A and B are shown apart, each in its own frame.
Chain A
Amino acid sequence: MSTAAATAAAACIHCGADLPAGAERFCCPGCAGAWALINELGLGQYYARRTAAAPRPVAESAPDPSAFVRIESDGTAALDLLVDGLSCAACVWLIETALKRDPEVVAARVNLGSRRLRLRWKGAQAAAGRLVEAVQRLGYRVVPFDPSALVSLAERRERQLLRALAVAGFAAGNIMLLSVAVWAGLAEDMGSATRDLLHWISALIALPAIAVAGMPFFESAAAALRARRTNMDVPISIGVVLAAAMSLFETINSGPHAYFDSAVTLLFFLLVGRYLDHRARGRARSAAENLVALSAAPATLVEPGGRTVRVRPTELAIGSTILVAPGERIAADGRIVAGRSELDRSLVDGETTPAPAGVGDLVYAGMLNLAAPLRIEVTATGEATFLAEIVRLMEAAEQGRARFVVLADRVARRYAPAVHTLALFTFLGWVGLGGAPWQAALMNAVAVLIITCPCALGLAVPAVQVIASGRLMKRGILLKSATALERLASVDTVVFDKTGTLTLGAPELDPADAEPDALRLASSLAASSRHPLARAIRAAAPDVPAAEGVEEHPGEGLSCGEIRIGSRRFCGVATEDETTGPELWLARPGAAPHRFRFSDALRPDAAATVAALKREGKRVLLLSGDRPAAVAAVAAALGIDEWRAGVSPAEKAATVAALPGNVLMVGDGLNDAPALAGAAVSMSPATAADVSRTAADVVFQRDSLAAVTETLAVARGAERLVRQNIGFAILYNVLAVPLAVAGLVTPLLAAVAMSSSSLVVIGNAFRLRGMK
């Protein structure tokens, strides 16, 4: 344990968060529990192995997975789970090893890329609950899902690309061997029969290979043409198909020039670029799939006879009654008919202070019940819920962004017609002015198309993007969208959300109120509550033994004999003065009531980040759904002049859309999701609500806001290199095209030109690694 203890000077041993004042090893009881469990299992090595901090355990009970358990053909039970909070390979090891300790478990395999856990075990299906609970206690939130409903398109596409890449690589290597023989033979005295044989073998390899490996390009080009647009894949497809057709024609007529090697090598290079590009964003994309998590939480339906059954939320009818236990998420919109509790609404409106709720109050799907059981009459389910409404708003906002055209495609739009016109003029020129036979003229025209086939142009952008996303990923910043870098480079306005974005999103005891005696007493009571404010008290004084006989009054506070801690009314305090944040009062016999105030701490480098952005000349705004007083305080502390408080999700999206210039939206709450989707480009912390992470282009994992400035800097560097690369690709064409028009290009020359220009472009992209 010595390694773990050594790093724990100022951070929680388990999750690495900064320790609240007074705490020695853990930031919260959840972390302490997970740490104890891990050591009890003898898996303490996890702490030495990991390369990223563990997730902070959630105060949520594990969802009941029984509806998702399948029985395999060999009689074992199987279950697929989405795992939230996986950060490095040590998490994989921890979960797998902990589960395999269970004698009934046959297999437990975590996929780090897609964040899924596949479990198989012998015996009773009911063991599912125990196994899921075990993972949850380690600190990972899990959600069962149905794998047949979630074989993602992206995954299939990645496999298709990899298969195409393998075929192209095989064909390119073998054809190149044969081509080198032909080129060497040209210098010596290879007979034309031998040359034709080699050409025929090349054709035999190349034609099926192009049919398979070219598919990704042909499909995309066809889709673009059907929509009456052109993209980079159109000239690529035309070039490859014409090169193959012309080479086949030459081979049949026993001509000297076949370009099979160029066509296949071109495909190989382009597929490398495309596959890398796809993979770099794979990790973040799978986080988006956790969206399912929100709707998959099962509900407890109360039947008319009073019996309760677990059902999927989709099976709920309007007017039925559901029971929500403490620690459970509410599965549908509704009205409370019995019970009194506190709700964590952060998923819905970003407000982190738990809100009391009682009979008659409206609740929304996605809220977390904290204190006591509630009975809820369902008023809306599935597509009609507030959550679904947010998703719809988000989709609508995203449509606007789909119109963005990446630079490469903008170049391709001008490039393709120019090249095709040039080829046509070459043909006409050779027939009209040169008096050449039409076959020879056509040959030269096709040579123009081959030499201009945008190999370097096609690699120019993905090569830079792969390096840029690799560099960002090392800093814990995940790029989700292919076009995000380009959109980031032109950002001139940055809009921040408050709770969870500029602040850490968890209440912390104001040190001014931490009077030792009162704090110790409060902490002894708070030990028996999971309420966030009670936990904050506990975190400030963790070593006090828990008091016995503490009673929890949901929505009001805690009592132990005559000592009470809770809301002002609960403690019988008469004062009327306003506070800006959440508060707790401690009432005890023989002393005046003591007030604990809490604040949501700013991210440590929030002020520095805002200042850096302003120095770069960017306009910085703060939009929050919180109360004006709280927002004004944060804005003043960070030096943000433009702020608005009490903004609804729809207003937020509208405000962002109405801002002039290119807006970067940084936010984390569900209420930010429409604005995130509607802004030119958006970023979310990894702690954000699932929907927000889905909507954001960039997700950053650390507690530091410096990710924003870092990402913008890398984006600008990448933009510069992309422009250089495109400039180089065009320069290369300017030099090579006259040779092609003059009919001087041979297959050897084409191969050398294509490979060298591709290497230069890739080499230039690598400069981004060293850039500051």
Chain B
Amino acid sequence: MIGLLYTIPIALFMGLLGLGAFLWALRSGQYDDLDGAAARILFDDQGDEK
């Protein structure tokens, strides 16, 4: 059971890392416009028609 002493902290640390990344993304406004973001990825930068 000694393994638990470091595997559990590692698991929790990685989980917290993910949580932290999500909260950062939330704070920096990346979740403000989900409808727009879903479509924006399809825009290419040069919009001119051939």
Contact = CB atoms under 8 A, between A and B. Distances in A.
Nearest to B5: A197
B49 A111 contact: no
A287 B31 CA distance: 19
A97 B48 CA distance: 10
A170 B32 contact: no
Contacts of B11: 174, 177
A97 B43 CA distance: 10
A335 B22 CA distance: 57
Interface residues of B, number: 26
Interface stretch (A37-45, A709-717, A733-741): A37-45
Interface string A173-209: 1100110000000000001001001000100010000
Contacts of A177: 11
B35 A112 contact: yes
Given A170-B18, A197-B4, A113 B49 contact: no
B26 A92 contact: no
B15 A89 contact: no
A167 interface: yes
A174 B38 CA distance: 30
A113 B32 contact: yes
Interface string B12-31: 10011011001100100001
Interface string A158-172: 010011001100100
Given A92-B36, A111-B32, A173-B15, A159 B47 contact: no
A614 interface: no
Contacts of B34: 113, 279
Contacts of B31: 159, 162
A167 B19 contact: yes
B4 A45 contact: no
B4 A112 contact: no
B11 to A, nearest CB: 7
Q: Which of B26, B36, B40, B42 has the most CB of A within 10 A?
A: B36
Contact of A112 (B1, B18, B33, B49): B33
Contacts, number: 72
Contact of B47 (A43, A111, A191, A279): A43
A112 B19 contact: no
B4 A89 contact: no
Given A170-B19, A174-B12, A44 B49 contact: yes
A286 to B, nearest CB: 10
A283 interface: yes
Contacts of A111: 32-33, 36
B16 A170 contact: yes
A166 B22 CA distance: 7
B23 A166 contact: yes
A114 interface: yes
A194 B19 contact: no
A643 interface: no
A93 interface: yes
B39 A194 contact: no
A110 interface: yes
Nearest to A167: B19
Contact of A201 (B8, B15, B19, B38): B8
A55 B43 CA distance: 21
Contact of B26 (A89, A159, A279): A159
Contacts of A114: 32-33
A89 B1 contact: no
Q: Which of B8, B32, B47 has the most CB of A within 10 A?
A: B47
Contact of B36 (A112, A162, A178): A112
A170 B4 contact: no
B48 to A, nearest CB: 4
Nearest to A279: B34
Contact of A205 (B12, B36, B48): B12
A42 B22 CA distance: 39
Nearest to A90: B39
Given A42-B49, A92-B39, A113 B18 contact: no
A283 B38 CA distance: 15
Contacts of B47: 42-43, 45, 93, 97
Contact of B15 (A42, A44, A92, A170): A170
A194 B33 contact: no
Contact of B43 (A88, A93, A162): A93
Interface in A713-751: none
Contacts of A170: 15-16, 18-19
Contacts of B33: 111-114
Interface string A278-321: 01000100000000000000000000000000000000000000
Nearest to A96: B43
Nearest to B21: A166
A45 B31 CA distance: 27
A279 B4 CA distance: 40
Contacts of B1: 191, 194
B36 to A, nearest CB: 4
25 contacts: A42-B47, A42-B48, A43-B47, A43-B49, A45-B49, A89-B36, A89-B39, A89-B40, A89-B42, A92-B36, A93-B39, A112-B33, A112-B35, A113-B32, A113-B33, A113-B34, A113-B36, A159-B26, A159-B31, A163-B23, A170-B15, A173-B15, A197-B4, A201-B12, A279-B34
The 8 closest A-B pairs by CB, nearest first: A89-B39, A112-B36, A111-B33, A170-B19, A42-B48, A97-B47, A113-B33, A112-B35
Interface of B: 1, 4, 8, 11-12, 15-16, 18-19, 22-23, 26, 31-36, 38-40, 42-43, 47-49
